[in-house]
Amino acid sequence: MTNAVARDGRLLEIRDTSTPWTLRTYPTRAEWEARARFIREHILACTGLLPLPPKTPLKPRVFGRLERAGYAVEKVFFESLPGFFVCGNLYRPLNGARRAPAIACPHGHWAGGRLEDSEMCSVPGRCINLARQGNVVFSWDMAGHRDSKQIGHRDFGGPREDLWGIGVLGLQLWNSIRVVDFLSGLPGVDAKRIGCTGASGGGSQAFLLCAVDDRVAAAAPVNMVGSTMQGGCNCENQAHLRLNINNVEIAAAMAPRPLLLVATTGDWTADTVEVEYPAIRAVYRLYGAEDRLSVRRVDAPHNYNRQSREAAYGFFSRWLHNGESRVSESAFQVEADEDMLVFGKGRGRPSKALNATAVVQLLTGRSEQRLSQLKPVDSGSLRRLKREMGVSLRHALSAEVPTTEQLFIRNTGRERSAKWLTETLLIGRLEQGERTPAVLLSPLPYTARAPAVLVIHPKGRTALFGRANRRPSPLVRELLAKGHRVLAIDPFLTGESGLPESGSSYDRASVSHFHTYNKSVAACRIQDIVTALAYLDSRDDVGRRSLLGLGSAGIYCLLARAMAAGVHRTCADLSGFDPASDRCWLERCFVPAIRAAGDVRTAMALIAPGHLLIHGAGGGFPTAWARATYRWAGRPDRLTRFGKRQTRANIVEWITRI
């Protein structure tokens, strides 16, 4: 079976930022809108923003006005979070309309940041011209650039922060959402005519914002939307973000709002006209809105140069002003950097400005406060918790319950003994290429619709059945004696699916942003458990299903059960696991954004009122939360919690109850 295991798709294809994507098609508008909703939720969940946190006062400071030919420019800083400052420049038209459109202008990774002024990219030149054309324009710093030095751009975050969905991408996405708040609240701005444009990393910021915030009425991401490269910086890669979504789909989530794709011959957008544009156009066609999508390709290196800018000017003229679609750039004079920077010339950064450590504390505290406010106090609040946090947990785990048609099932052997029938199998999901070794023992004489228990051992099925599947452990024998079928699997990288046998590697350090494109090992194992439960459900000869997690596999089973409905009983040995400890999650069950999604607290809410036995939990186990959940689910009797690990006899007696 080792050769078959080696064909597990998760080991065959390790994805990275430059792995080409095959672009999907959507036959109906309903199918696309379900996908677009998934994309929006997934972006927010991976960044710890689902449900969307409360917005705190911006407290904007606008000062240092300079009036120039056709426009004025000012310095701005405001608090996207208490103690975290967004800094930039606000450009306004002189003698413009009483209510003007506004355009958000994030910058890319050019050295000058928001003040970059070169042949390939002039951020001030873009803003000056857009202001002269009648728009209020705001350009602001990426985190870690120019005035925004509270965190480092390339060194903020890490595995511990990933547990909470914290990273530069999420922080910048929140900043972008607050930029829209800032612009919408300015006197003289028409909040229904908000645009956004940026190039390179600024293009990533633009389409991520547009995917999650429908207040953006028109967008022009430049030199970024591609199917062969997804962005190479921390600010474009959050753990688990692109497991099964890509930049082309994220940009398409703008539909049916007006969208301009600006490409160039000198980077990964060279084929946009032939590849990405038609794919997005197919989405716009579902709305009968093909005229709202346009594309322009220039002959240049990676850029936001004059040609690209003029394409954007015409686009925004058409869609925000109902004006001409061909607009030329006027000559401009850029101010000295020191006259544009927010902090300097006697103004220092406010004393309340948080450092990186304090920002992380603020964001983890925000997630915990949000969850504590959702703690069940009645049946209605329990339903709200399931609705709001359940979506977040599903995206964090990225676990799906496959239908029977989506299952891969291969029987690799059958052997009958005097007391049981042994079936060896490979199971998985067809499209994902998963191949999980499994063994199913059925007691003899054979009984139709016999109950089944899926048993997960941290060392795999060999620990339960022996190497030749002929020496069932005492636990398995006792379950068989009770008339239960017993299914055991080797979850990802466990037992026979482990690396020495498969000859492959995973979590490779040589792959940048590995977890943006590849599931964590724990998430893969949780999916395998969910798939195994679906396999049991697909068999006509299996009655009720139960789930038993032993040792360190107990936490996987608890989380998997939250994804799978219709499981009769679930017993999880947490083996000292402390759900309140980030270290425990890092060392024993690393799943990005799991803590922001409510971890075991949300999982238990989704399981309730199902039968649940938890034993061997660490000191931080939320016992009061669990009891409240089951109380308001109307079945407090179905929750059993023991601090000490239970004996085999107690476990067998409990799991086989009707």
Q: Does the pLDDT of residue 6 top 60, yes or no?
A: no
Mean pLDDT of the residues in the chain:
96
Give a yes or no: residue 2 inside a domain. no
| 542-549: strand order across its sheet | 407-416, 420-429, 436-443, 485-489, 450-456, 542-549, 567-573, 611-615, 639-642
Please give the pLDDT value at position 1.
Answer: 43
pLDDT band at 504 (very low <50, low <70, confident <90, very high): low
Give a yes or no: residue 380 inside a domain. no
Span 482-489, average pLDDT: 98
Classified as helix, coil or strand, 198 is: strand
Query: Are 145 and 227 part of one and the same domain?
Result: yes
Residue 481, Cβ neighbours under 10 Å: how many?
Answer: 12
Q: Does the pLDDT of residue 469 top 90, yes or no?
A: no
How far is the C-alpha of 125 from the C-alpha of 130, rounded, in Å? 9
Last residue of a domain, one of 366, 382, 407: 366
The number of domains in the chain is: 2
Using only the alpha carbons of the chain, give its radius of gyration: 28
Give a yes or no: residue 38 inside a domain. no
Query: Are 88 and 184 part of one and the same domain?
Result: yes
Query: Are 335 and 469 part of one and the same domain?
Result: no
Please give the pLDDT value at position 510.
Answer: 78
Give a yes or no: residue 29 inside a domain. no
The DSSP symbol for 121 reads: B
Give a yes or no: residue 549 inside a domain. yes
Last residue of a domain, one of 313, 347, 366: 366
Q: Does the pLDDT of residue 658 top 50, yes or no?
A: yes
Which domain range does residue 116 map to? 49-366
Give a yes or no: residue 44 inside a domain. no
pLDDT band at 499 (very low <50, low <70, confident <90, very high): low
Last residue of a domain, one of 366, 385, 410: 366
As a whole-number percent, the residues of the chain with pLDDT over 70 amount to: 98
Give a yes or no: residue 536 inside a domain. yes
Residue 592, Cβ neighbours under 10 Å: how many?
Answer: 32
Query: How confident is the model over 282-325, as pLDDT tens digits?
Result: 999 999 999 999 999 999 999 999 999 999 999 999 999 999 98
Give a yes or no: residue 643 inside a domain. yes
H or E stretch including 299? strand 293-301
Query: Are 351 and 497 part of one and the same domain?
Result: no
pTM over 0.95: yes
Please give the pLDDT value at position 345.
Answer: 82
Query: Are 344 and 210 part of one and the same domain?
Result: yes
How far is the C-alpha of 192 from the C-alpha of 200, rounded, in Å? 26
Query: How confident is the model over 368-379, as pLDDT tens digits?
Result: 999 999 999 999
Query: Are 484 and 572 part of one and the same domain?
Result: yes
Kindly state the tokens that stand for 445: 């004489």
Q: Does the pLDDT of residue 206 top 90, yes or no?
A: yes
Query: How confident is the model over 328-364, as pLDDT tens digits?
Result: 999 999 999 999 999 988 899 999 999 999 999 999 9
Long-range contacts of 510-515 (CB under 8 A, 24+ apart): 511/14, 511/16, 512/16, 512/17, 512/232, 512/237, 513/16, 513/17, 513/232, 513/234, 513/237, 514/14, 514/16, 515/162, 515/239, 515/240, 515/592
Query: Are 138 and 223 part of one and the same domain?
Result: yes
Query: Are 344 and 419 part of one and the same domain?
Result: no
Residue identified by tokens 């090992």 is: 521
Q: Does the pLDDT of residue 508 top 90, yes or no?
A: no
H or E stretch including 382? helix 379-397
Please give the pLDDT value at position 607.
Answer: 99
Query: Are 361 and 419 part of one and the same domain?
Result: no
Q: Does the pLDDT of residue 227 top 70, yes or no?
A: yes
pLDDT band at 97 (very low <50, low <70, confident <90, very high): confident
Output the domain CATH number for residue 83.
3.40.50.1820
Q: Does the pLDDT of residue 30 top 90, yes or no?
A: yes
Query: Are 61 and 103 part of one and the same domain?
Result: yes
Contact 410, 425 (CB under 8 A): yes
Query: Are 360 and 438 part of one and the same domain?
Result: no
Q: Does the pLDDT of residue 473 top 70, yes or no?
A: yes
Please give the pLDDT value at position 424.
Answer: 96
Give the amino acid at 16: D
Please give the pLDDT value at position 101.
Answer: 98
Please give the pLDDT value at position 344.
Answer: 87
Query: Are 353 and 435 part of one and the same domain?
Result: no
Query: How confident is the model over 58-73, as pLDDT tens digits?
Result: 999 999 999 999 999 9
How far is the C-alpha of 89 from the C-alpha of 341, rounded, in Å? 8
Please give the pLDDT value at position 497.
Answer: 77
Span 610-618, average pLDDT: 96
Please list, residue by residue across 484-523, b when 16 or more beta carbons sit within 10 angstroms of its beta carbon and e when fewer do.
bbbbbbbbbbbbbbeeebbebebeeeebebbbbbbbbbbb
